[in-house]
Copies of this chain bind each other. A is one copy, B any other.
């Protein structure tokens, strides 16, 4: 990006819907944004960065996808507390290798994510960087006072659940990297997997059902792989988590794609990431109500195991009935897949 293009980028960042209302008193255009949240709620705040070559490659993500996903990963962290995302602040670091037009496309992807979740961009910073594109996003949301769903709330006897299906994002990334290495493009039949990787959804509606019907319990989002997220719950709650391999909801396309490349999809399910599904625990007494509520809203939730007393750890009950200890190993982006 040339110097004169910087003002252009600045102007897009200011395109953010800036009227007052919804608790927003001051949006973009002053030293800081000013807003209030709904009464009876607490603030939820998180930050998550995406760096070119570390978290994404230009060959595997369009600029719009990068912008979109940078917000979704943050909305997902808000959802993982049971909260609703409301506002974001975005810092973009632009190297000379990205054009002003591509930066505009990044923002278009962000506005798509904002529109989907009713979120507004209320601040940010536009800076030059010497090399790679950087996006650093802070999301602000709200949750009922005292009711945030913590990693430390899992209790022996709780059931373990996960929303949606797993393995799709990692399978999609695998397909993209294979295509890149072979100089081709991904076959049409695997395009849904690419969408899983490039356009994940944040499970805000599911989070809200958990607040409404879950009566507490632990919650985490699957950003770094199921095993890693369950380990966080196990350690924070000081419990042992046992999941049943036969119950894991695997993305059917990921299974089919894995077969076509002679891979085991279980690796993607356990150690892939960026699914942004929610994984957590609830008391067995609330499980039927919760299952019904999910079903009524057309949301998928699968009970995959149990919480037990014992040393913190995560175990996979294999089809033969044996328990295998799962490593903490999470998603290392371009290293984890293959």
Contact = CB atoms under 8 A, between A and B. Distances in A.
A138 B48 CA distance: 11
Contact of A220 (B31, B49, B145): B31
Contact of A136 (B29, B33, B136): B136
B91 A34 contact: no
Contacts of A148: 25-26, 30, 34
A122 B219 CA distance: 19
A34 B53 CA distance: 31
A221 interface: yes
A236 interface: yes
A125 B136 contact: yes
A159 to B, nearest CB: 20
Nearest to A135: B136
Contacts of A52: 130
A210 to B, nearest CB: 13
Contacts of A236: 29-30
How would you classify the secondary structure of chain A's contact residues: helix, strand, loop or mixed?
A: strand
A91 B47 contact: yes
A51 B47 CA distance: 18
Interface string A119-157: 000111101111110101011110101101011100000
Contacts of A30: 80-81, 148, 150-152, 236
Contacts of A44: 32-34
20 contacts: A25-B148, A30-B148, A30-B151, A32-B80, A33-B45, A43-B140, A47-B89, A47-B123, A47-B125, A47-B136, A48-B125, A49-B93, A49-B125, A51-B127, A54-B128, A129-B131, A130-B131, A131-B131, A131-B132, A138-B138
Contacts of A77: 31-32
B46 A32 contact: yes
A112 interface: no
A83 interface: yes
A244 interface: no
Interface string A1-43: 0000000000000000000000001100111111111000011
A55 to B, nearest CB: 7
B49 A91 contact: yes
A136 B91 contact: yes
A89 B130 contact: no
A201 to B, nearest CB: 16
A78 B31 CA distance: 7
Nearest to A148: B34
A60 to B, nearest CB: 17
A87 interface: yes
